[in-house]
Amino acid sequence: MNIQIAAAAVKKSVTVEAPIERAFSAFAAMGDWWVKTHTIAASDQKDVTMEPRAGGRWYETGMNGEQCDWGKVAEWQPPHRMLLLWQISADWKFDPDLITEVEVRFTEEGKNRTRVELEHRKLEAYGAAAKAMAESFGSEGGWSGLLAAYAKAC
Amino acid sequence: MTYQNDTLAALADRTRREIFERLSAKQSSVADLARAMPISQPAVSQHLKVLREAGLVRGTPQGARVIYEIDLAGLGPLRTWLDRFWDAQLDAFKKAAETKEKDQ
């Protein structure tokens, strides 16, 4: 018997002073705003691309032109919703076996005001990937690195 | 921070890491683990105690046995990290979306 337990999702929301279409397209142009310290490319991040369709790729391009997959676009409903599959492990590597979901919903609150809600869920997949985590736990950017960053932030 | 040290120390031991990996694949009792690994039941119990105290596994009584599984609350540090991570990213997104608006 194997009981599947769901881990609580990480939920965030932000209100932006922009029309819903602009908010959606700005979010999709992820390379314009992504905090560059979070990169898996070897040569630093040049851009982040999500192909604007269900089944599209979601990847990062490094300064040397190399592409690193982050996951997939599972659903694409502009300007209201996108569902992305985030397949980056705790040690910042693409892992095709790790599937977590990032759902982003856009709600019009006014002509120039949009509420953006982000939910990162199915985090229990990180439990299933515990093997990889345990293996990487000694690496700088790995599990211990996360814990160290967490401890520092507390 | 105590929690961090406990977690790392708990997984630094190869046998405990193997127990943790086995539990991540399948819930098991002490007897199940002892059968699958070359160590005694008391040794398994001792390792489970350390893992339990580190918040990595948890046990649920089921009849006369206790069934152990990965404690998802042990994802706490990762969740907290992701929480802060998305805060920072959405902050940057908000700035970009609003700047874009002014430009056009």
3-state secondary structure string, B87-103?
Answer: HHHHHHHHHHHHHHHHH
B32 & B81 share domain = no
Q: Which positions ≥6 away from A6 have C-beta within 8 Å?
A: A122, A124
Chain A neighbors of B94, CB-CB under 8 A: 14, 16
B47 & B90 share domain = no
Chain B neighbors of A21, CB-CB under 8 A: none
Alpha-carbon distance of A16 to B45, in angstroms, equals 53
Q: Which comes out higher in pLDDT, residue B60 or A146?
A: B60
Tokens 């999500």, located at residue: A50
Which of B79, B84, B92 is the closest to A34 by Cβ? B92
Structure tokens given for B65: 């046995």
B15 & B2 share domain = yes
Tokens 């040290």, located at residue: B5
B78 & B32 share domain = no
pLDDT tens profile A78-96? 999 999 999 987 667 788 9
- State whether residue A63 sits within 8 Å of chain B by CB: no
- State whether residue B96 sits within 8 Å of chain A by CB: yes
Q: Could you give the C-alpha distances from A113 to A11, A77, A82, A106, in angstroms and in order?
A: 20, 19, 18, 10
B15 & B39 share domain = yes
B21 & B52 share domain = yes
Which pTM does this prediction carry? Answer: 0.63
Query: Could B97 and A137 be called an inter-chain contact, meaning their C-beta atoms sit closer than 8 Å?
Result: no
φ/ψ region of A116 (left if φ > 0, alpha if ψ in -120 to 50, else beta) reads: beta
B79 & B61 share domain = no
Q: Which comes out higher in pLDDT, residue B101 or A107?
A: A107
Query: Could B21 and A130 be called an inter-chain contact, meaning their C-beta atoms sit closer than 8 Å?
Result: yes
B76 & B56 share domain = no
Query: Could B75 and A154 be called an inter-chain contact, meaning their C-beta atoms sit closer than 8 Å?
Result: no
Confidence of residue A35 (pLDDT cuts 50, 70, 90): confident
**A residues 30-59 lying closer than 8 A (beta carbon) to B:** 32-35, 38
B78 & B92 share domain = yes
- State whether residue B69 sits within 8 Å of chain A by CB: yes
CATH number at residue B47: 1.10.10.10
Query: Could A22 and B97 be called an inter-chain contact, meaning their C-beta atoms sit closer than 8 Å?
Result: yes
Confidence of residue A6 (pLDDT cuts 50, 70, 90): low
Enclosing domain of residue B79: 72-104
Chain B neighbors of A23, CB-CB under 8 A: 97
Eight-class DSSP state of B37: S
On the question of pLDDT at B35 being above 80, the answer is yes
On the question of pLDDT at A139 being above 60, the answer is no
Query: Could B70 and A127 be called an inter-chain contact, meaning their C-beta atoms sit closer than 8 Å?
Result: yes
pLDDT tens profile B46-67? 999 888 776 678 888 999 899 9
Q: Residues A126, A133: contact at Cβ < 8 Å?
A: yes
Chain B neighbors of A118, CB-CB under 8 A: 86, 90
pLDDT value, residue B80: 64
Domains and CATH numbers, chain A: 10-124 (3.30.530.20)
Structure tokens given for B89: 């990213």
pLDDT value, residue A99: 92
B66 & B92 share domain = no
Question: C-alpha A58: how far from its chain's center?
Answer: 9
B7 & B56 share domain = yes
**B residues 23-52 lying closer than 8 A (beta carbon) to A:** 24-27
B45 & B24 share domain = yes
Q: How many Å lie between the alpha carbon of A41 and the closest alpha carbon of chain B?
A: 18
Q: How many Å lie between the alpha carbon of B51 and the closest alpha carbon of chain A?
A: 13
Q: Which comes out higher in pLDDT, residue B57 or A136?
A: B57
When divided into structural domains, chain B yields a total of 2
